[in-house]
Structure 1
């Protein structure tokens, strides 16, 4: 027999139309016999009518008849497998359906329907096994008709709510379990009825009547039932409780989410808040994270649990509630969390052990008080009914305490919840401790870097300057970007911006060394390309002396190797500007009309890496032009920190006007970089000035000793015109000595120039290439005191060289005239 024929036989054996009937009275005595029953069991009516039905069954099943009749009275009928004994003595397996038959006279009888199961495949197993599948299985089973009304269910289904099987008959899920989210379940049933496609493994999560305070999860499967013609009759479905599996999966998902979302930054307060955000509402309805004050400062807390002999200084670092701005948040972020002495949070801090209370005393006062003397709120008033408190401990150090409360969720915290809370807090505690350690190191690096950067730009008359520095974010770490403004001789000024590779304290220290070296070289009044050349030699030599060669795999390179720097010198007398760059972006220039352009500057190799000599360019700037020097962090964007080759963004930002240069500088940085950039950003902007014609006076002097007297007279006349009579005596002395020195030791034309700026500057230039040296003559020497006197009467003096010779200069203060 083929598979389809077997299914047909099975369907026929269970079809009511093919079943053979007979009647029993209330006591189980046969009262009516049919021809079909006679053919099936091979008894004549005279042999069975008036006899107990137990005589038609094998002894084993005959013993069950009283029980079956009782079940029929209770449930209104019965269906199952029995083994009958035919008239010839042979056993025959039959499917039995018993249903009440009430006659007009009110006499109760039982209608028995028998289906021969001898030819049905698969029914050779014992009746006990089949009944266990239906009645004793822990899996809930039910059948609904095409209107989704229950027509049958087993006893196991009652454990999922809805009452016993008889109370389900003829009712839909919404009537069986009011409040159940039945929409999704019935949608699955309708889909199966419509398509015939079974649904396997549908998960339903919610609360059922048997567990109203506990979220449960069930796995359901649905199959369509059809008649002989393939028409849908209803849906058969099974229900399995998978709450434990669901909760375990939820715990794993919560821990995975905690691993992704906690510790994304190296900020202590933000990390504590991330812990609260992860736990609400997936685990708790209210979470409070309180940390020791020393932790928030980045200091090292005491190792081991606290002794509890003194008040514990706790501050609220994280808070989250399902109610948003909940009224229970009397302690703001950063505020003092004053817990009552001996309260569970304090005990957790002192002992280092967790605390769990399934049911809080509703009339007990809350543990935290405000500074004004306590809020006096009970747990009943706040709606909190269950709590878990876990100390934050990492690397043997107590950092604080975390309290998890439940309000809306009626299910109290159990032991599994406590373990989950401890896992969450332990992960967060490591991140908090990392953030604390980083806070300490970052603060130290910031202090170091800010101490190495100029606190304020020096006063000078060449440019109006403003600078903006923004350190990198926590994950990247502090970098080594820097800027400087160095006043030079002759009212000139040097503008410098540089960047040291790497991050952290080492980069900040390397930046400080490099900035100091630049200032030292600037004091020598060297051209920009020579300053960078000397700086390149210095970095390479320092790296070599430390035994760290650049570009050697596996060897940590000296921090300054690979640094970038741009060096600009501006002269306010003639508006000339010269500059050179080493591995650094060229400056931008904003003309007085607002036009932005970028200097076509040959960029040399980074410092210490070797390569061709540095080249400088010179350009004339109109008064009111603005030079913008910046590090490459200003142009970096995106997660890959790539430098934007198109300078359009920077051009548009520089074109924006602002009331002041300082505000304009901040506006440019705000427009191009986030509050916490991936790389440090330094921007130095300088608006040029020109000295007026009345501030500069110069004379060409012939190489004649008699010219010394004439030079003194011209200088005296000019100082009188400037109203600087109090400087006449010292200036005559300085002019006399410098001109005399040029006549004696140099050749070529001699030029005297006086500049009135923030100081009075006297310059004498000649064609010599040797620098004068200050010496201290003996009392018997007749000469050699000239430069000594110049140094005594001047605020500072020095020599600078140019292509045709040198300039000896001396400055006198206008604010503090000589005594």
Structure 2
């Protein structure tokens, strides 16, 4: 009977006793009795009758306590224990006391009973110890399921049993007299002999785990060995005994489980497809294969989902990653990032078409036929002696993403069914991670494309300032809703805005686009910064309410900083809604203390915004940015703001574009920021006072002719005689409308830059003009229509004292 069968029979016997089945039937060798939990005897065998003289009918159904002699010495067994043993004094049928050793087992309850009682055993005959010259002792050494070896006091091998001889692969007569280091060899043999010497010297047992390779086998087996000293009657150590158990299957199972656990930790650390593919290859080499390649199908165009149905050869795959036990991966035919076409006979095509693992072994037959249609790879495999390979499809959520090919040439053992299951398990885990990374990359690219289409590609050139910018999407969290803009306003003024929408992804980018459009529209109305933020706040509240009605979780929120700079007066006004304050540097690099009230974030609703205005010298540098630039895990917003100020001060000279790059390089990690970053830098210009002319106009129609004359004189002074006639007509119409429909005081201002002449007429009336088309016989109503046709653009803006009507005349082609 095999050792596994013996163990199975023993396990069944123990289970039968504990579960309440019939007790052992050898009544001649063992006396036993069964009691219930109340102590009543329920069964009694012939051996018990021989031991105590009580017949079965005298005992069954009566308390077991009647069998105890005075001074019996019985201790109550522990209720939680399954076994109890000890010497007990029992009462014989003839009245004398019999001292016996008993072994009691608790029985499991049956038929719903809470307690199961006890089975009490007592051996009747002692067969005596096993003598060295008995046949049983002789065959025990030879037929023991454990591998055994005996070494003498000089650590020379004296005897081995059959199992040990088979493990070594050499007959016993060839091994006797050798040392362990000579039998096993190498460092492994030296380590084992050191353990033998330790046991011989100290007299203590040693438990070790080792690997032995039989002479006729290619692979080593894992062994769990116990090394114990052998002592004589006087305690003298006579030698050492080694017993071992082959635990190869348990060891391999533990290795497979460890590899699966390692794969769950090491694969999918990032949402990067290439990195995940590389992690899959790194986990499998060398634990499972000597060379692993991971090839992925090319993603569909326009961001479509991969086909979920059956695939057909040939296939074009891109090498995502590969790894080898040989440095440099010389086995590879394709480099990472390159594409290759795999014919229908290739392992990749076979597994992709069948959507299952394809295994090939034996290079002389199956493997060569498997690669017959791929001569390049076939030659490379034969060059390196690849003897086993398997192709595992990478599939997730019913979609085939690619294929992983595992090959062996350094390891001589072939792939086993367990290896195939392990490769499929690891690849399946990697496939989910690759699919997640692919979906994340696709959503990220979509959001990036949307955001790029919404952000300005170039900034407008204005006489008010020069500007430069940088935008960096988040490295890991996905694209957010950061934006910036430079908006030309009337009167050579310019607006600068930087904002940040809460959240990431396509939804945040779409919200950013709506807010950016709203800010541009409101800027065209020439609202003051605090008024503009109030209107944008109302819009965000409305968007949040609409999102809740559509079932979208989370509220819409944003922060914003809005500034307007006038190069004529060199004054700049700021207002912000929960956004980081600007950094303003004087022309000499000195930071200016600009206290802009923080204001609530956009979307709170009902809270007022305040603005701050200050005069800026020409050449002042303004930095508007989002919190992703200054805030990180290592520093808070205040520390980041201080670092940004120092960085701008240090790099203030040179072009703004270079300063932007210096700031990004100095303040952000090389692997990218954790949040989106938007940075807008502007250097202010001042308009020459000689290019501005201002007149006070009396509220008298007769003053129109005199005003036209003043305009013609100034146009001649500026050398703009070609545009003088048009300017005269526009000024005449605007001044006439102000006199007729406005309220004094009335003021005319001409502003001249290199390409534009701006005419502005201000009065104290808050009534805005309206463009209308006059009928054929109408005597009026054509003034503003004439202005609109003669100028590039025109409009009106409200001021603290009334309104201003303005018009721009192009002096040269843009």
The equivalent residue for 2:665 is 670
Which structure 2 residues correspond to residues 380-529 of structure 1 after superposition, within 5 A? 380-474=382-476, 476-529=477-530
In structure 2, C-alpha distance between the alignment counterparts of 1:150 and 1:120, rounded to whole Å: 33
Selected match of 2:802 from 777, 788, 805: 805
Given that 2:627 and 2:677 are in contact with CA atoms closer than 8 Å, whether structure 1 keeps it comes out as yes
Is the Cα–Cα contact under 8 Å of residues 132 and 138 in structure 2 kept in the other structure?
no
What displacement does 1:525 show?
A: 0.6
- Which segment drifts farther, 376-385 or 642-651? 642-651
Match for residue 181 of structure 2 among 169, 174, 178: 174
**2:729 matched to which residue of 1?**
733
The within-5 A match list for 1:138-287 is 138-144=145-151, 148-161=155-168, 163-179=170-186, 181-193=188-200, 195-200=202-207, 202-204=208-210, 206=211, 208-210=213-215, 213-226=218-231, 234-287=239-292
Summarize deviations over 1:758-816 as a string: whole Å, max 9, x none.
42211122222222222222232222322221111111111122222322111112234
Greater displacement, 595-604 / 750-759: 595-604
How big is each residue's C-alpha offset from its partner over 1:443-474, in whole Å with a ceiling of 9 and x where there is no partner? Answer: 22222221111122222222211221111235
**The one of 555, 558, 563 aligned to 2:558:** 563
Q: Structure 2: how far apart are the matches of 1:152 and 1:810?
A: 113
Displacement of 1:165: 3.2
Counterpart CA distance in 1 for 2:649 and 2:166 is: 74
Question: Equivalent residue of 2:544, what SS?
Answer: helix
Any idea what the Cα deviations from partners look like across 1:366-400, whole Å, max 9, x if unmatched?
A: 94999xx9577252313322101112222222222
Aligned to 1:64: none
Q: Which runs of 5+ in 1 are unaligned?
A: 1-118
CA contact (8 A) 1:394 1:433 kept: yes
Relative to structure 1, the CA distance from residue 296 to residue 411 in structure 2 (aligned partners, 3 Å threshold; closer, same or farther) is farther
2:675 is the alignment partner of 1:679: yes
* Corresponding residue SS for 2:349: helix
Distance 2:378 2:408 in 1: 20
Among candidates 325, 328, 331, match of residue 328 of structure 1: 331
CA distance in 2, matches of 1:412, 1:194: 43
Among 674, 683, 688, the residue aligned to 1:692: 688
| Counterpart residue number, 2:93 | none
Give how far 1:600 is off: 2.5
Matched with 1:768 is: 765
**SS of corresponding position for 2:287:** coil
Deviation at 1:234, TM superposition (A): 4.6
Distance in 1 (CA, whole Å) between partners of 2:621 and 2:434 is 45
What's the Cα RMSD here? 3.1
Deviation at 1:435, TM superposition (A): 2.5
More off after superposition, 283-292 vs 131-140: 131-140
Give the drift of 1:245. Answer: 1.1
Q: Distance in 2 between matches of 1:384 and 1:724?
A: 86
Q: Distance in 2 between matches of 1:566 and 1:737?
A: 38
- TM-score, length basis structure 1: 0.77
Tell me if structure 2 keeps the 8 A contact 1:748–1:767: yes
Structure 1, 341-350 or 227-236: larger mean CA deviation: 227-236
Whether the aligned pair in 1 keeps the contact of 2:184 and 2:212 (CA below 8 Å) is no
**1:794 aligns to 2:775 (yes or no):** no
2:339 corresponds to 1:339: no
Give the drift of 1:672.
2.7
**Deviations along 1:644-670, whole A, 9 cap, x unmatched?**
655343334434427532232233223
Q: Work out the CA distance in 2 between the residues paired with 1:471 and 1:459.
A: 25
Alpha carbons 1:297, 1:436 under 8 Å: kept: no
Compute the displacement of 1:491 (Å).
1.0
Q: Select 1:616's aligned residue among 611, 614, 628.
A: 611
Which residue does the alignment assign to 2:24? none
What is the aligned length?
685
Residue 479 of structure 1: how far off its partner (Å) = 1.4
**For the residues of structure 1 that align with 2:152 and 2:592, how far apart are their CA atoms?**
81
Residues 389-424 of structure 1, C-alpha deviations (whole Å, 9 max, x = no match): 112222222222211011211222121111111112
Please report how far the alpha carbon of residue 528 of structure 1 lies from its aligned counterpart in structure 2 after TM superposition: 0.7
The CA distance in 2 between the partners of 1:811 and 1:616, in whole Å, is 28
Distance, in Å, in 2 between the alignment partners of 1:686 and 1:365 is 69
- Residue 129 of structure 1 and its aligned partner are, at CA, apart by 5.5
- Alpha-carbon distance change, 750 to 157 in structure 1, aligned in 2, over 3 angstroms: same
Change in CA separation of 1:745 and 1:358 when aligned onto 2, cut-off 3 Å: same
Q: Give the 3-state SS of the residue equivalent to 2:445 in structure 1.
A: helix
* Deviation, structure 1 residue 364: 4.2
Mapped partners of 1:687, 1:122: distance in 2:
104
Aligned position for 1:784: 781
Give matches, 1:68-79, under 5 Å: none
Change in Cα spacing, 1:774 to 1:221, as seen in structure 2 (3 Å) is same
Structure 2 unmatched runs, 5+: 1-125
1:534 Cα deviation from its structure 2 partner? 0.8
Alignment of 1:528-677 (within 5 A): 528-544=529-545, 556-558=553-555, 561-596=556-591, 599-610=594-605, 612-638=607-633, 645-657=639-651, 659-674=654-669, 675-677=671-673
Q: Where does residue 9 of structure 2 map in the other structure?
A: none
Q: Is the 8 A contact 2:214 2:220 kept in 1?
A: no
Which of 353, 356, 359 matches 2:359? 356
Task: Give SS of 2:305's match.
Answer: coil
Matched, 1:316 2:319: yes
Please report how far the alpha carbon of residue 516 of structure 1 lies from its aligned counterpart in structure 2 after TM superposition.
0.8
Give, in whole Å, the separation in 2 of the partners of 1:802 and 1:628: 27
> CA, structure 1 residues 599+141, in 2 after alignment: closer, same or farther (shift >3 Å)?
farther
Residues 29-58 of structure 1 show CA distances to partners (whole Å, capped at 9, x for unaligned) of xxxxxxxxxxxxxxxxxxxxxxxxxxxxxx
- 2-side partners of 1:147 and 1:706: how far apart? 133
**Contact 2:296 / 2:401 at 8 angstroms: preserved in 1?**
yes
Contact (CA 8 Å) 1:339, 1:367: kept in 2 or not? Answer: no
Match of 1:302 in 2: 307
* 1:656-714 deviation digits (Å, cap 9, x = unpaired): 42753223223322333344433222111112222223332323334444432332223
